[in-house]
Amino acid sequence: MQNFLIAATNSGCGKTTVTIGLLRALRRKGVPVQPFKCGPDYIDTQYHQMACGEESVNLDSRFTTPEHLREMFDRYHKEANIVEGVMGLYDGYDRWKGSSAELAAILDLPVLLIVNARSMAYSAAAIIHGFTSLPCNDLPRLRFAGIIFNQVGSERHASFLKKACEDTHTPCLGCIPRLPDMEIPSRHLGLSLENRDSIEQIICRAADAVEKYVDLKALGL
């Protein structure tokens, strides 16, 4: 069984794009996959279902107990289980409470951290080091499966980013280039998916990008 929580340094890094790309890529490979979403979001869960054909399950550590979260995760788990985080990894209603980090700790999930690399090169090392070694007395240390960079400009740009991973002893699992046709349209709370044909095209392009630029073998997928 392969279990991961896909998180990011902040909103807008491409969490949902990578998540739906990975879900569709696994569906193409015939791997039974179950999507989950951190928090009460009910729009991203619709993207998940479109991507893999399975209803996505919300997991919210603010309103439910750790025991209930583990029970829900075990009840719905399949061969592969992908949890999409919310906002930045440590962003919760009170410091990290209710955050993706708290959920990863409760479920003992390794984190795939998405980093938006636009307008940044080796400075990524400082960001990676901070996220993977954040001192917090009451939060268990998280396990990081690796980094996926998004919005990468060139091969040379990717080489700086990979060096940043090497120097922080964190696996680089992918460098996804800037692909303008893969951007999910902005949405507003309360609205559903309006153009499902357009979303389906985005999901297909996201899956193509994940298959081409993300090291799925390193994830055991």
Question: What local confidence, expressed as pLDDT, does residue 65 receive?
Answer: 96
The CA distance from 159 to 53, in Å, is: 36
Question: What local confidence, expressed as pLDDT, does residue 140 receive?
Answer: 75
Question: What local confidence, expressed as pLDDT, does residue 167 receive?
Answer: 98
Query: Nearest 5 degrees, angle CA 77-CA 49-CA 40?
Result: 75
Question: What local confidence, expressed as pLDDT, does residue 196 receive?
Answer: 79
What sign does the CA torsion over 200, 205, 208, 213 have?
A: negative
Question: What local confidence, expressed as pLDDT, does residue 131 receive?
Answer: 95
Question: What local confidence, expressed as pLDDT, does residue 185 receive?
Answer: 63
**Can you give the pLDDT of all 221 residues of the chain as single tens digits?**
599 999 999 998 999 999 999 999 999 999 999 999 999 988 899 999 999 999 999 999 999 999 999 999 999 999 999 999 999 999 999 989 999 999 999 999 999 999 999 999 999 999 999 999 987 768 778 999 999 999 999 999 999 999 999 999 999 999 999 987 777 765 544 445 667 788 899 999 999 999 999 999 998 88
The CATH number of the domain holding residue 56 is: 3.40.50.300
Question: What local confidence, expressed as pLDDT, does residue 194 receive?
Answer: 65
- When divided into structural domains, the chain yields a total of 1
Burial of 1 (0-12, 13-18, 19+ CB in 10 A): exposed
Task: Give φ, ψ of 149 to 5 degrees.
Answer: -90, 140
Question: What local confidence, expressed as pLDDT, does residue 193 receive?
Answer: 62
- Residue ranges making up the domain that contains 99: 2-219
